[in-house]
A and B are shown apart, each in its own frame.
Chain A
């Protein structure tokens, strides 16, 4: 016994509607909630962008001895408050804007060109594709072959820069074992934030695909390079969790900054442990 459905009105003759392919009127026949994942990603990434834009331009409440917000570290302008310029003031006095804007291009570029975030924003922002086997809305598609997306290929340089930033932020975590007077051997709740933030950033960068390639992935003969093979094996293990570290470290940076904002603006006082 069979009944028959007539297909709905026809379509535009490209993609899944191209001549020769099975004529099916629906763009996708998926019945699950495929739009949930990209929607969540969209909301979280957009919230982060809004939050970090506000904080980067705010030029206030980013330092409370001994805590320096990761959005402003290293703080390289003359306007950085005393105690926050551990890496010197390279920029000079002419610079009048937020010191975050000098350095943010590096962590921003690192995440923008990250293989995982590329997947995340191509799917959720650009809908290319929104989900698997769900037709994308674009007529033309050139992937990462043309300007500007061909620039994704510079990811490794942002990775090298990220390593430098990790050292700086590790220093910030170490420096947070001081009290507001600058004496060593103390810690507060903010210390936990900064140590957690630095740890997550290391996990995120060491699990990077470019890192995996650089330590050993590019080799043809592992047997000739036993040490690099060992590194590659370790990074490969981390690499399987790269997505997890990408999200955790993003939250880590945002919450660390927010905590320091609360302390620096006087909304809360930092509980001291010792």
Chain B
């Protein structure tokens, strides 16, 4: 049934801004992004919002709805009551550009700091042979749509701007886990995860997993396994001894 909903949308830019109230009509089956578009069409042609697919697959429309990081195109209006005010703000972990659009280049910077897939020397791309069981685990991580909601919700940087240089964030821990679990990767990702990407700052409180629209088990399947691998390489005296005896580096390929 169509009704007039109360919306509160953050309007502004780097110099400041405010939550602004609107009344806007809602039809059956709509999502928050539809309402934002209706606002643009009927009341606020200059409202800035980033979007592309409207299908939860491009990761562009990330914002916060009633204080929770979410994709605007995947948040259904029928999850709110008709008399509820729906508050929409930009991501609160990254610098704002205008209205609902933020500058997420922090994430591109962090992505560049991870060495790409490093196959054994002399092995050419056409010669990779591996079995399904060996790649299965990391396939979950390839579902990532880079919406950066997990990065936005992570309190390590959300609540502590000063941690940004030292911390890559959950999206990049799954990237490192994916590569470290790859049967042909040879880079030293365990030590890097701790020393260069700050996985030790994560206290596994699981908010990243809670908001991931692809339902990737970020904490259980990527961060905790990586923390265990880091412990193998750095904090386990028995593994260290075992590796010494066998003439390897702790945490080497098995």
Given A24-B92, A143-B201, A153-B231, 10 more pairs with CB closer than 8 A: A14-B161, A22-B89, A128-B203, A136-B155, A141-B155, A143-B198, A150-B235, A209-B224, A209-B228, A221-B253
Query: Counting CB contacts under 8 A, is B182 at the interface?
Result: yes
Question: Which A residue's beta carbon lies closest to that of B68?
Answer: A133
The segment from B25-33, B52-60, B168-176, B204-212 that touches chain A is: B204-212
Contact (Cβ within 8 A) A22 B92? yes
Query: Counting CB contacts under 8 A, is A109 at the interface?
Result: no
Interface of B is mostly: mixed
Query: Counting CB contacts under 8 A, is B51 at the interface?
Result: no
Query: Counting CB contacts under 8 A, is B82 at the interface?
Result: no
Q: Which of these, A30, A155, A212, contacts B67 with CB under 8 Å? A: A30
**Chain B contact patch, size range:** 35 or more
**Chain A residues within CB distance 8 Å of chain B:** 1-7, 14-16, 18, 20-24, 26, 28-32, 115, 118-119, 122-123, 128-129, 132-136, 138, 140-145, 149-150, 153-156, 209-210, 212-213, 217-223, 225, 229, 239-240
Which residues of B are found within 8 Å of A115, using beta-carbon distances?
A: 204, 224
Which residues of A are found within 8 Å of B95, using beta-carbon distances?
A: 20-21
Contact (Cβ within 8 A) B92 A21? yes
**Chain B residues within CB distance 8 Å of chain A:** 8, 10, 12, 14, 16-23, 43-44, 64, 66-69, 84, 87, 89-90, 92-96, 102, 130-131, 133-134, 136-137, 153, 155-156, 158-163, 180-183, 185, 198, 200-207, 210-211, 220, 224-225, 227-232, 234-236, 253-254
Contact (Cβ within 8 A) A218 B211? no
Which residues of A are found within 8 Å of B130, using beta-carbon distances?
A: 223
Interface of A is mostly: loop
Q: Which of these, A4, A128, A218, contacts B228 with CB under 8 Å? A: A218
Which residues of A are found within 8 Å of B14, using beta-carbon distances?
A: 20
Which residues of A are found within 8 Å of B180, using beta-carbon distances?
A: 220
Contact (Cβ within 8 A) A129 B66? no
Question: Which B residue's beta carbon lies closest to that of A126?
Answer: B203
